[in-house]
Structure 1
């Protein structure tokens, strides 16, 4: 979907149409969850602070998020997807993979199907969507961003290699800002330069991710579209109104976060061996500390014991604006789809 949260707000409120809006909070603790395309022209984007967003765009209008409404719209879109295939893998409320190799319409053209689906979403929901079509999830994901908003791009089998070779490395799915900078330092700016590096070189500099980069730049990505994604972790986190500088106050907050996490673990009937504490400091730098146990846990008391150990593992380098706890290395082989709703103070 194109600027999903912001587009829903503009659809529901005619006054907001054509104007730069941000879904999120405008105060000193506020965070932008989504920005309209009018706002993006000024450098407003998701995850930046409301203060910075307002500085970039003085005319910016802030709107409080309505997640129940976004879920309602998302459900309508999902129903449209299932009219074409049952192999639908949701990534979030506004994005999904569809395998249409064999589809309910009997249409051999994924390109035509994508156009039809986008047209139906616009007609029945009132929002625009973009699509990427290709031989695997990796290339389709990249292609989906190519002609946004309200567009689509097909990368045919014989075009995949040349498409990836010419692609800027920062546009590779799975290559974040830090990795991009590291690749630049190694002389890797486009896919062709990444492709010229050996597997040994990439594993040396990027560890386990090296093999992933080595294969995807060659168009190899064998991940199937799964209608129910296997849960890899369950998490809960909270952004605070006021930065925390005392571990004692942090433990109080972590108790409520652990309680919320316990509810989610029980809801999905899972437990895990690895507990991770996430810390985001006032300067927005982030740190994670993890511990893996020889047994599975889901109880908040046991989780808190590990979290307390991780919290006092080393001194804080600054005041803290966000704390989170996640449990992974889960005890299920079943295919479960877990939606983690992050909590923000907007």
Structure 2
């Protein structure tokens, strides 16, 4: 991407931040606390929904490039796209879709749905290029279809509690099985290539589900098992920057293959969900969004800057934008809840009101 396009994107990003800060810095002395709360509730929902734009811009170029290569008969080029990593991301999106559908967070659920659909399109392209085994794609397609239907029916109140609970059990077992395997595989060949972490976690997950459903666990234990699907999906996405940083550490030259614009879009997409997660006091959501914003988006921008793969102006703009956005989220949340300090919001998030 040439410097003119980068400058244009930076200019748009700068004006966007200027507009947001300017808009919310206007005082409304005549409005009561309840209206402040309602306004910020509405805006955080819009920000969360707005995350669709940068996330779509992240996936769309890959879809277009894959289409061009397929039409040109260049199937080999699609082999560079890791289908296993894409599949992991899709499963994470599907698990989080169920989490947000249950919480009735429409905008966040739409973001995850977009992630599921766009990733499935990429996997379909990889299958057409014979870069992904067709049997895995068929199985994935079945899971995606069932998952989207189940979540849609549940969101609109058309699904029985029993079926929904069964679906939650499935994604809990799937998430707990996949996460340890991904974490282990990151460090191969420093550790032996083995499926033991995944199979062990699968056995533990099945046992936990059976105990929860047969009344062998306390009420607190049942709630803990019920929260596992959301946390495992979040941890999958949280592991992505760890994996990327580890790759950067082992092969510093590979950093040059990263796109600073891609990392900026990732930072913006995850960052847009921070205010909503903080506002509804969702520790899991905020943890995942903040982690991805800081360590995947901004962390890789920092790495690119340190190896002189991006300009100082780009790095400074990203840094100022990130700090301003997080500061804005904390400040406006404190105003909405009538707190004197923004740190009160963080305390409530972790320890409750």
TM-score normalised per structure 1? 0.26
Larger RCO, structures 1/2 (Cα 8 Å, 6+ apart): 2
Q: Which has the higher helix share?
A: 2
- TM-score, structure 2 length as denominator? 0.26
